[in-house]
Structure 1
Amino acid sequence: MTSAASENSRNRADALPKSWNPGEVEGELYERWVAAGYFTADPASAGEPYSIVLPPPNVTGNLHMGHAFDHTLMDLLTRRKRMQGYEVLWLPGMDHAGIATQNIVEKQLAVDGKTKEDFGRELFIDKVWDWKRESGGSIQGQMRRLGDGVDWGRDRFTMDDGLSRAVQTIFKRLFDAGLIYRAERLVNWSPGLRTAISDIEVKYEDVEGELVSLRYGSLNDDEPHVIVATTRVETMLGDTAVAVHPDDERYRSLLGGTLYHPITGRQIPVVADDYVDPEFGSGAVKITPAHDPNDFEIGLRHDLPMPTIMDETGRITGTGTEFDGMDRFEARVMVRERLAREGRVVAEKRPYVHSVGHSERSGEPIEPRLSMQWWVKVESLAKAAGDAVRNGDTVIHPASQEPRWFAWVDDMHDWCISRQLWWGHRIPIWYGPEGEVVCVGPDEQAPEGYVQDPDVLDTWFSSGLWPFSTMGWPDATPELAKFYPTSVLVTGYDILFFWVARMMMFGMFVSGDPAIAAGKQPGSVQVPFRDVFLHGLIRDEFGRKYSKSKGIGIDPLTWIDEFGADATRFTLARGAQPGSDLSVGPPHVQASRNFVTKLFNATKFALMNGAAPGEIPVRDALTDADRWILDRLETVRAEVDSAFDRYEFGKGCEALYHFAWDELCDWYLELAKVQFAGADGSTAESDERAAHTRVVLGSVLDALLRMLHPVMPFVTETLWRAVTGGESVVIAQWPQATGIATDAAAARRIDDAQKLITEIRRFRSDQGLTDKQKVAARLVGIETADLTGLRAEIAALARLTEPSGGSGDFSATAAVEVRLSATTVTVELDTSGAVDLVAERRRLEKDLAAARKELDSTTAKLGNEAFLAKAPDEVVAKIRTRREVAESEVARIGARLEEIDKSAAK
């Protein structure tokens, strides 16, 4: 290395801040990257494409910790691929979130005593757009703070004109193919929102209710009657049968007959159905087909009437009883009280804890309700989605999630796609004055006098088109030709069915579309993504799922403000393993912040000592430490490449962390200090050795910072530019394999030196010696151990000095034997004058008393048969381990006290 290069390094070290303060630099760095166009994809590029579409967050809110997890992993993938020479598209966007968004705006209107009906549909939708324009930017701001390297020029929104055109196009194609139909079926109904909602918007909670046993039929024990139990007494107003198991002898005489309904007075049939469990309760169940999913299926099998007894707000209606007009919960009480007065309540169990579905948005219990809705016939679509995975066209990572995938797509029920809302994609169905039904495509007009269906589509319908609608489909665009199919979908395993399955179904449906097939190999299967990486849920450090409703929701900006984006991202990526949940909290992020600080300080130290990357000298000219760190770098590079290619982000981050902290900082930098200290101009050899070490150190830092960049973009950008003087690590080349054989001999010598230094340091610690106290020592056997070339490094790092007056007059007061790879080195030390033996004895005696107390305590517990019989195995195992440690400490401290006594006797 030239003196000019070293001087440049020192100047760049001076230009770095005194310490790393992420809040002062992250925003400026990010906007510089965007302005430079580093994240802008070029469809005309000759580079191999790599593309990811961002799972669109809801426009209604902010990014939560799950989003930060997702985004970190996607940014890691795309930054690395960009450095590997791929033409990368990471396409961002947001979902219009039909229910959530409309709910927010309606609540705002309610503050002024207004409803959406006061404005009408068009004006209300205008107000929603106004809200979106005012509030939609918060998520983008968070993404910038996190460091998302997305192509902002291609930002998409599911209600944009282009995406709306895609929705209308695929609806018509599905309709024309007979895959969309209208039918009265049971749905999840939210009375508060007055719409059907999807399964993913239903959250099940254990609630305390009551189980009421009711008597149907005659009150005379000698006449036909049955006992049924229910937690929803009010639904009996819609009962159209009582069902029993066909083999249940108790009710054989009732089959084919009818029973008196105690409220309506109707006679309802007794039917036999295998669904009924004869061992549960009385073995008889009431059947309310319009308000229970299982009852609905029984109603279909037995062709039962299906009266709907609640309106859209959850009020009883159409029963012809005194309960009409009552809220469902009020009716529950009033019906039970009437039945009790008539002697038909046989038993009540309160409280009765059972699982009840609640609307995620309104928080109320959902109501299974028979309703006329639009549906997608999924059988053929689901089969294609399943076959794509079976055939390997799409690969799920980890493979352990495949059974869940097949369980869903192989047994999928038709999908309710209509919602009774105003905000969303309007269903493109028009009705004529004589009941005609016309589906209108994006370039078509409805006949005059026709009226459009009032419902909108389920949000998941439009987001199911996301991989290709965002790239311009149904038009043939350069983006579709270059970047579709996408490379990988990164998302949590909890929405494998709700979102991933829908994208797969729609993607397979349009796979032969000319706009998508253009430029592709003829006959190739155009799945929406080649890989699906499913990560686990993110939990706090106590294993609880982050949840705002439970008071443990964390805004990622809280961690970014306190610890920086790099520390936040590294924490998330380090804990990411395919399919496994991640438990993290502030202590984990603080540890990552410490790592960022360690990296910053180490790099600044290297630069201050003139380190700079360059052409690596021939191996024979390098020290063992230089060769060892280069070999370790190459091994870690291979480990990181392998891990990241398999989506094992945690494994790759662990390898980088331990290399950077344990090997580069804790060992190589310390060894390099000896080389730098020896470069005092006294010999050309020592100066050349130091120059080589500066090149090696600079080159290792260059490669390490490039490998860390996808995980920790901000600090690595700052440090890499200081180390190399380059434009940006964002566009730097990913480290390549060197092809150089590993120097096993150098690795063995460094390993032996580390063991020797570690044992000497342990001895010094036992003696109570400080780092400032140097001890005279003689290393016996160092030549046999082939460590002569590392004598200076061993002495410096172990704080040893040569015996004064030569080794012949040296008198050792202590010795440490260290077994190395092929021999034993004995370290003879003269600690006289370095250790206060009286103070040391007092300290050791105090430690010995504590160790004996621990030994006595653990021995007593392990000798207590009553304790052993009750204590869990893991508790007993921990106590055994504690006893072993205590025994070891008693022996060690006792031996040291004997050494002190011998020294005192001399």
Structure 2
Amino acid sequence: MELAKSFEPADIERRWYPEWEARGYFGAGLDADNKEAFCILLPPPNVTGTLHMGHGFNQAIMDALTRYHRMRGDNTLWQPGTDHAGIATQIVVERQLDAQDISRHQLGREKFLEKVWEWKAFSGDTITRQMRRLGTSPDWSRERFTMDAGLSRTVTETFVRLYREGLIYRGKRLVNWDPELHTAVSDLEVVSEEEDGFMWHICYPLADGSGSLTVATTRPETMLGDTAVMVHPEDERYRHLLGKKVKLPLCDREIPIIADAYVDLAFGTGCVKVTPAHDFNDYAVGLRHQLPMINVLTLDGRIIDADSDPNYSKLKYGQAGFVETTATGDFPEAAIPEKYRGMDRFDARNAIVIDLQAMGFLVKTDKHKLKVPRGDRTGVVIEPMLTDQWFVAMSKPTADGSSIAGKALACVASGEIRFFPENWINTYNQWLNNIQDWCISRQLWWGHQIPAWYGEAGQIFVAHDEPEARAMAAEQGYGGALTRDPDVLDTWYSSALWPFSTLDWTPQWPAETNPALDLYLPSTVLVTGFDIIFFWVARMVMMTRHITGKIPFRHVYVHGLIRDAEGQKMSKSKGNVLDPIDLIDGIGLDALIEKRISGLMNPKQAEQIEKRTRKEFPTGIPAFGTDALRFTFLSLASPGRDIKFDLSRCEGYRNFCNKLWNASRFVLMHTADQDLGLTDGTPDLSFADQWIVSKLQRTEIEIAQHFADYRFDLLARAVYEFIWDEFCDWYVELAKVQLQHGSGAELRATRRTLARVLETVLRLAHPLLPFITEELWQVVAPIAGCKTQASVMLAAYPQAQAEKLDPASEARVQQLKNLAYACRNLRGEMNLSPALRVPLLVSGERQSLLGFAPYLKALCKLSEVQIVDDLPGGASAPIAIVGETRLMLQVQIDLAVECERLDKEIARLQGEISKARAKLANASFVARAPAPVVEQERQRLNDFVATLEQLEPQRQRLRRN
């Protein structure tokens, strides 16, 4: 196999990935005798479209870990799969139908679900194609989907089990409600951003006519459901009013004044209206004080008509706790004024404000910034709503006395599960210590339908299937019709089972044999963003521990989120989204613009996005190839929360790949069909050969530690610095000298070192750069006598050999480097052309300098190196000192011309320093300019000062001459 003259990533990627997959290299190891096992779970992407930069970043990390452990000989499984993404996928398909003027209700549930499955097949294939383009190596034969038959059985089994254990129940509680989708949504699907609004101050008259209280609200329409006004128990202004009542404006009823520590003494008037059925904090207050809970909104966000709406209900506290009542006669004090019934919530808000003002109840209106919760899929304002839902009890004691949440806390407290970085433990613990029961039902059609059947009188039969439900009903003496619950389970419920459902868990395990489950539960590490610690990570721990008795994973590596170069979140509306495949293949400007604005309905927004894109990518995006993109992702994986993605880094790492390619061509040029002394035993290595071998061992030690610590940024840097700096920039240049001047044995030793070190480097870098390393290894490994496997991904990962560490050779090469740096600085100070070869005079320890001379001559473009006892006195040329060694370039210079040049440069630098100091001394500039601009100015000042400090001594030497 010959090596092409230039690195062309597209051809290499197109050739190698199908080869790897066809040969089964990604398959899970199932060798029970090998006790070392590595397993990683793919956070299943939603089948709603295509992968984004966050997926690419996350998967680059996972693939690096997987390839690393596979090469170490571990049983290795990267478990792939996709998530059905209930709400997101249903919205996509409904919008497709809307474009054809068809609603899902016209199709009916069965036909609609057929359409969704068609979309899933299309989208799922797109995602797996993209993953292959990213070079990922999961075991595709084990690919799972959250609604596969096997995973669906696990969902049903766990639901039935938890219900029968009393840990799943049905009840009317407050949830996030999307009035457009007509379903409950999770906190993750609610985005709260600051918006302009108003704070209305409303007068609530005391029922006894002795005065009034003023409350403030941003949602005056909810006052129709107020059931109390609360003040702080320590607020002296209102203590005498506790126990009294106020008249609720616009409504013919009275509500009590209560005391609760939730009230902020310092905010507003210190009086707060309580609407338990439409505010989460008020709901908690309502529970504490046993207040009625009055629902004033319909499911589509209109003011409810209690006399006609079948969904109308109230919760009233009785002897048995809160009970639901639907008859208006049972709760006459909850009556809603007729004029508002049926109005849209925001229209009702305007009408209520007008009426309050007309009746003298509106004290004042202030502009106010407030956090508005909106559905991330629909953009509509989310309403807290009392609805019938299914819940998992998070804090209820289980059979062993601990709660589901308590078990999850204990897993981390005991050290069974570790977080990287450790500070994320605090986030995990905080959420679990304050956890509420988990709402797991959704009013959708796409998803796992809840396995519950209802009798005509509301009896509930939870079973694995309808025949079992009928049998249960018969045992209880009920023989009437059964109706299955139409709701589906929250997507996060099936995702919480991912660690064991993907491994084909059954209730009979571990008695029933399952090699994959035995080996890979718990998995080794979960790689995830910090934004889903609550929603996914904690729930996997809770469910896996309770259902299987095992932990789901030993380590949780939490990474930041990819943002653009300015630190902005990537979003379609901002027009700053990048598709990882576009960075691999490249994309023209017009195609990029069209991609970014497609689907946007706002022409002005599209115009702004086009303008931004033309400025940011005037010629489009060049093709960087998969390896350069992956290496960029890994180099950015620092412990911070946000990761700024700068396209220039992709360009830098594409150049890095070119550097490795060209270095490999050099090695092959000097080793192919040459005698490398592979059968000669231990070669007689030069100090330079010994140095590079020793540095390689240190790099291998460093890389092993970075893999263990999940510090992929440091890992990438270690690989980069060894390949670019040590091997390509230094050893290759030193080897050129040895190849030119060495004897037969020395030549063989140098060739052998070049080939062996390069072959090791390719194995070392393979998890990060899979394609280029495979292509090069196939050519280099046979020459180095190291091709024992068909692929580099099956070859052994390099392990450091302590006996090859050589501090003496490392110190000697460092001394050579220092001399070369000094010599190059002298050339720079004297402004010598790179093409000009000049002699070097050097004094110091003669024996060492004799060994260094041929290398210095080549490295510093010298005509000769003269070792002298002392440098000539009175020389006008600058002198460099390195330890006990003194260096001077023997160059005749025109003193007058050189002095004039230095004077001009010094004067220029002094002027620039004065201007920079004046700018930084200007308080207005420092305060108003963007922080990066101020920092850039400080850096310019430091650079000018450093350059001046180099030139002034040189000018003084010339002045003395």
User: TM-score, normalised to structure 1's length?
Assistant: 0.90
Q: Please state if 1:267 is matched with 2:284.
A: no
Alignment of 1:804-843 (within 5 A): 817-820=879-882, 823-832=883-892, 843=901
Q: Please state if 1:570 is matched with 2:557.
A: no
2:103 paired residue number: 115
2:454 paired residue number: 431
Alignment of 1:486-635 (within 5 A): 486-512=523-549, 526-561=550-585, 562-578=623-639, 580-610=641-671, 615=678, 621-635=684-698
Q: Cα deviations across residues 80-103 of structure 1 (Å, max 9, x unaligned)?
A: 000000111101100000000111
2:419 paired residue number: 396
Q: Cα deviations across residues 68-119 of structure 1 (Å, max 9, x unaligned)?
A: 1110111011100000001111011000000001111111111222211111
| Alpha carbons 1:862, 1:868 under 8 Å: kept | yes
Q: Which amino acid aligns with 1:652?
A: L
| Alpha carbons 2:826, 2:880 under 8 Å: kept | no
Q: Which amino acid aligns with 2:434?
A: D
| Alpha carbons 1:53, 1:489 under 8 Å: kept | yes
Tell me how far apart the structure 2 counterparts of residues 617 and 837 of structure 1 sit (CA, whole Å): 57
1:9 paired residue number: none
Q: Cα deviations across residues 438-476 of structure 1 (Å, max 9, x unaligned)?
A: 111269533173111111000000000001101101164
| Alpha carbons 2:373, 2:381 under 8 Å: kept | yes
Q: Please state if 1:356 is matched with 2:368.
A: no
RMSD: 2.9
Q: Secondary structure at the match of 1:621?
A: coil
- Which has the higher relative contact order, 1 or 2, with Cα contacts under 8 A spaced 6 or more apart? 1
Tell me how far apart the structure 1 counterparts of residues 525 and 537 of structure 2 sit (CA, whole Å): 12
Q: Which amino acid aligns with 1:354?
A: L
Q: Please state if 1:329 is matched with 2:392.
A: no
Shift of 1:653: 1.3
2:213 pairs with one of 196, 203, 226: 226
Change (3 A) 1:243 1:593: same
Q: Please state if 1:408 is matched with 2:431.
A: yes
Q: Secondary structure at the match of 1:777?
A: strand
1:683 paired residue number: none
2:85 paired residue number: 97
| Alpha carbons 1:264, 1:321 under 8 Å: kept | no
Change (3 A) 1:546 1:455: same
Tell me how far apart the structure 1 counterparts of residues 405 and 890 of structure 2 sit (CA, whole Å): 79
| Alpha carbons 2:113, 2:445 under 8 Å: kept | yes
| Alpha carbons 1:180, 1:374 under 8 Å: kept | yes
Identical positions, percent: 43
Tell me how far apart the structure 1 counterparts of residues 716 and 677 of structure 2 sit (CA, whole Å): 26
2:237 paired residue number: 250
Shift of 1:777: 2.8
Q: Secondary structure at the match of 2:338?
A: coil
Shift of 1:580: 4.3
Q: Which amino acid aligns with 2:221?
A: E
Shift of 1:698: 1.1
| Alpha carbons 2:44, 2:80 under 8 Å: kept | yes
Q: Cα deviations across residues 263-290 of structure 1 (Å, max 9, x unaligned)?
A: 1211222222222233321221111111
Q: Cα deviations across residues 796-826 of structure 1 (Å, max 9, x unaligned)?
A: 2122233899999999965554444xx5223
1:146 pairs with one of 134, 137, 140: 134
Tell me how far apart the structure 2 counterparts of residues 313 and 136 of structure 1 sit (CA, whole Å): 32
Q: Secondary structure at the match of 1:510?
A: helix
Tell me how far apart the structure 2 counterparts of residues 586 and 864 of structure 1 sit (CA, whole Å): 34
Which runs of 5 or more structure 1 residues have no equivalent in the other structure?
1-11, 513-525, 680-685
| Alpha carbons 1:74, 1:490 under 8 Å: kept | yes
2:52 paired residue number: 64
Tell me how far apart the structure 2 counterparts of residues 654 and 588 of structure 1 sit (CA, whole Å): 13
Change (3 A) 1:615 1:633: farther
Shift of 1:694: 1.1
Change (3 A) 1:750 1:497: same
| Alpha carbons 2:697, 2:804 under 8 Å: kept | no
2:912 paired residue number: 854
Alignment of 1:372-391 (within 5 A): 372-379=388-395, 380-391=403-414
Q: Cα deviations across residues 627-685 of structure 1 (Å, max 9, x unaligned)?
A: 00100000010000011111111111111111111111111111111112225xxxxxx
Tell me how far apart the structure 1 counterparts of residues 421 and 583 of structure 2 sit (CA, whole Å): 29
Q: Secondary structure at the match of 1:149?
A: coil
| Alpha carbons 1:204, 1:357 under 8 Å: kept | yes
1:346 pairs with one of 358, 363, 367: 363
> Structure 1 residues 181-190 or 887-896, which shifts more?
887-896
| Alpha carbons 1:484, 1:528 under 8 Å: kept | yes
Tell me how far apart the structure 1 counterparts of residues 378 and 959 of structure 2 sit (CA, whole Å): 77
1:479 paired residue number: 516
Q: Cα deviations across residues 516-548 of structure 1 (Å, max 9, x unaligned)?
A: xxxxxxxxxx21111111112222222223233
Change (3 A) 1:533 1:446: same
Q: Cα deviations across residues 396-420 of structure 1 (Å, max 9, x unaligned)?
A: 1111111111111122110000000
Tell me how far apart the structure 2 counterparts of residues 741 and 880 of structure 1 sit (CA, whole Å): 45
Q: Which amino acid aligns with 1:256?
A: G
> Structure 1 residues 319-328 or 364-373, which shifts more?
319-328
Tell me how far apart the structure 1 counterparts of residues 935 and 453 of structure 2 sit (CA, whole Å): 72
1:662 paired residue number: 725
2:195 paired residue number: 207
1:521 paired residue number: none
Tell me how far apart the structure 1 counterparts of residues 558 and 449 of structure 2 sit (CA, whole Å): 32
Tell me how far apart the structure 2 counterparts of residues 103 and 338 of structure 1 sit (CA, whole Å): 38
2:618 paired residue number: none
Change (3 A) 1:431 1:825: same
Q: Cα deviations across residues 150-196 of structure 1 (Å, max 9, x unaligned)?
A: 11111110011111000000000100100000111100000011000
Q: Which amino acid aligns with 2:374?
A: H
1:160 pairs with one of 133, 148, 151: 148
Q: Secondary structure at the match of 1:354?
A: strand
2:863 pairs with one of 787, 791, 801: 801
| Alpha carbons 2:303, 2:340 under 8 Å: kept | yes
| Alpha carbons 1:243, 1:272 under 8 Å: kept | yes
Q: Please state if 1:643 is matched with 2:709.
A: no
Change (3 A) 1:691 1:186: same
Q: Secondary structure at the match of 1:384?
A: helix
Q: Please state if 1:83 is matched with 2:71.
A: yes
1:464 paired residue number: 496
Change (3 A) 1:869 1:289: closer
| Alpha carbons 1:812, 1:830 under 8 Å: kept | no
Which runs of 5 or more structure 2 residues have no equivalent in the other structure?
307-335, 396-402, 471-478, 586-622
Q: Secondary structure at the match of 1:207?
A: strand
1:519 paired residue number: none
Shift of 1:899: 6.3
Change (3 A) 1:895 1:568: same
2:159 pairs with one of 171, 179, 188: 171
Tell me how far apart the structure 2 counterparts of residues 867 and 659 of structure 1 sit (CA, whole Å): 42
1:717 pairs with one of 774, 787, 796: 774
Change (3 A) 1:807 1:182: closer
Tell me how far apart the structure 1 counterparts of residues 730 and 646 of structure 2 sit (CA, whole Å): 30
Q: Secondary structure at the match of 2:238?
A: helix
Shift of 1:336: 0.7
| Alpha carbons 2:529, 2:558 under 8 Å: kept | yes
2:319 paired residue number: none
Tell me how far apart the structure 2 counterparts of residues 478 and 893 of structure 1 sit (CA, whole Å): 71
Shift of 1:871: 10
Tell me how far apart the structure 2 counterparts of residues 755 and 442 of structure 1 sit (CA, whole Å): 78
| Alpha carbons 1:159, 1:425 under 8 Å: kept | yes
Q: Which amino acid aligns with 1:387?
A: A
> Structure 1 residues 303-312 or 42-51, which shifts more?
42-51
1:5 paired residue number: none
1:671 pairs with one of 705, 721, 734: 734
Change (3 A) 1:796 1:158: same
